[in-house]
Amino acid sequence: MRCENAPVQTRAITLLASSCLLLAACGGSSEPEVQTTSTTDVPTATAPATTLPTAAGPDVAGEVDEVIEGVREALVKLVMEREGIERGAAEERANLLMERGADPAVVEQQMAIYASWMDNYPVHPVLGRHWTEEQAECAIVTMMRVEGVARTGRLMNDARTGGMSVEDAQALVQPVAYCVDLMAMVRAELTSVGVPQDLDCLLAGVVEEEVATWYVAVFTDGPAGFNAALSEGVDLTCPTAP
């Protein structure tokens, strides 16, 4: 599935950039240079062979001016709402914020990261094929807000199964866990691959936070780590479904 809806992309990046400017929540610059990562294989029942979206994206330079203007207008409205001031004063405040933080290079990188993510999210190791477009958008916008643009790019470029630090692995998984229902998606995945055990029994006592640790283990310890974490969480003595 490709993200070919330019207005949706522009809206998402406008929302991201304006909120980051207002809240000073997004750090980093357009560095490092975007690179393409290798295929990420996860040969397990609930984490199929996948490729994590990389920070590389299509040529978006021509859309930056439009986004910058959209960011300015969004800032004006946010400042009016938050500070209860008239539009003229809000425009002055927005202009000051734009001068301090609206770097076109950063906005362009945001757009490239977003576009690549939306093109490739169905192959994300954390059950990406079960996400909706809205959930995928939520995950990448949340990641850039929390981690900053430059670190998000590095995380996407460096992502691999096994060998990542817990901190980096959590940074890749937590935005997804925030935006999707991991328990529902695990059930859907187990159903789709034909797991014979009764799912209510198999997942009894498992909570969403625990499911998130299974996918952190994919990045820190690879398929073996995922399988070990999964086997500790589910009840493998469950009978087959009737």
Domain count, the chain: 1
Q: Is residue 23 part of a domain?
A: yes
Average pLDDT of span 20-28: 45
For residue 59, is pLDDT > 80?
no
Q: What is the DSSP code string of 176-211?
A: HHHHS-HHHHHHHHHHHTT--B-HHHHTTT--HHHH
User: Considering the domain boundaries, does residue 140 fall inside one?
Assistant: yes
Looking at the domain assignment, is residue 239 inside a domain?
no
Average pLDDT over residues 169-173: 96
Would 90 be classed as within a structural domain? yes
Residue 189: CB atoms within 10 Å: 17
- The CA-based angle 231-136-144, given to 5 degrees, is 100
Average pLDDT over residues 6-31: 48
- State mean pLDDT over 172-188: 95
**Residue 242 belongs to some domain of the structure:** no
Predicted confidence at residue 130, as pLDDT, reads 96
User: Residue 189's closest CA among 11, 44, 91?
Assistant: 44
pLDDT band (50, 70, 90) for residue 241: confident
Containing structural domain, residue 50: 6-233
Task: Cis check for the bond before 122: say yes or no (omega within 30 of 0).
Answer: no
What percentage of the chain has pLDDT greater than the value 70? 65
Q: Measured between alpha carbons, how far is 206 from 184 in angstroms, rounded to an integer?
A: 12
Q: Is residue 77 part of a domain?
A: yes
Higher pLDDT, 164 or 35: 164
How do residues 74-114 score in pLDDT, each as one tens digit? 777 777 877 788 888 888 877 776 665 556 677 677 778 88
> What tokens does 82 get?
């938050």
Question: How would you class 160 by CB atoms within 10 Å of its CB: exposed for 0-12, middle for 13-18, buried for 19 or more?
Answer: middle
